[in-house]
Amino acid sequence: MKIAIDQLNEMDRAAFVRQLEGIYEHSLWVAEQAAGAGPFVSVEHLAKVMSEIVDSAGEEQKLRLIRAHPDLAARMSLTDYSAKEQQGAGLRQLGKEELEVFDEANRRYTAKFGFPFIIAVRGLDKTAILDALRRRTGSTLDNEKAEAIRQIHSIARLRLLDLIE
C-alpha cells in the first residue's frame, strides 16, 4: 500500500526509518540519515537526498552497501524488494542450465571486483541482464564501483516510487 509523501513527513524518526529501511539493501544507515533531512516535497526530492547521503559516505561504507546486495539469480534468501524485482525479470524461474550460466558469470564478476554484480533489473529480461553482466565484467574496478552505486540509486528510486504516492 502506497503512502503519501505528507504522511512520510509527519512520521516520527523511528516510523520513518522503518518505512524506508529496505530502500537501500540492508543499509539502514541511509534511512536513518535521511530521517532528519525533511520535509520532502516529492519522491524525487527524497530520492535525491538519499542518493546524496550515499554519495557522501566513505569508500568503505559504499563498499559495504554494494556488498549488501545479493547475486542475481542466486537461490538464497532475498529481501522482499529483491525477490519481487528478480521475479519480474524472470530470474527466479531460471532452468538448471540457465542458473549455471548465471552462477558462473556471477562468480567471474565477483572474483574480479570483490562484490556482486548490481543492475536495476526492472524492465530488463534475463538475456539483457546476462549480456550486461558479461560486458561489465570487462570493466575496471573504479568504473564498476561507480556503476554499482549508480545502479543502486536507480533501484532505490524505483522502490521509493513503488512505496510513495
What's residue 84's pLDDT? 57
- Which one of 26, 45, 69, 153 is the catalytic residue? 69
What's the confidence (pLDDT) of residue 50? 98
The C-alpha angle with vertex 87 and arms to 82 and 89, in degrees rounded to 5, equals 100
The neighbour count for residue 65, using CB atoms within 10 Å, is 22
Phi/psi of residue 39, nearest 5 degrees: -75, 155
Q: Mean pLDDT of successive 10-residue segments in the chain (165 residues)?
A: 94 96 91 94 97 97 91 56 54 73 91 94 86 96 97 95 92
- Is there a contact between 7 and 43 (Cβ–Cβ < 8 Å)? no
Specify the pLDDT at position 28. Answer: 92
Give residue 83's pLDDT. 52
The predicted pLDDT at position 58 comes to: 97
Question: Residue 121, Cα to own-chain centre: how many angstroms?
Answer: 10
Q: Is residue 45 flagged as an active site residue?
A: no
Domains of the chain: 5-163 (1.10.3330.10)
* Cβ 86 vs Cβ 25: under 8 Å: no
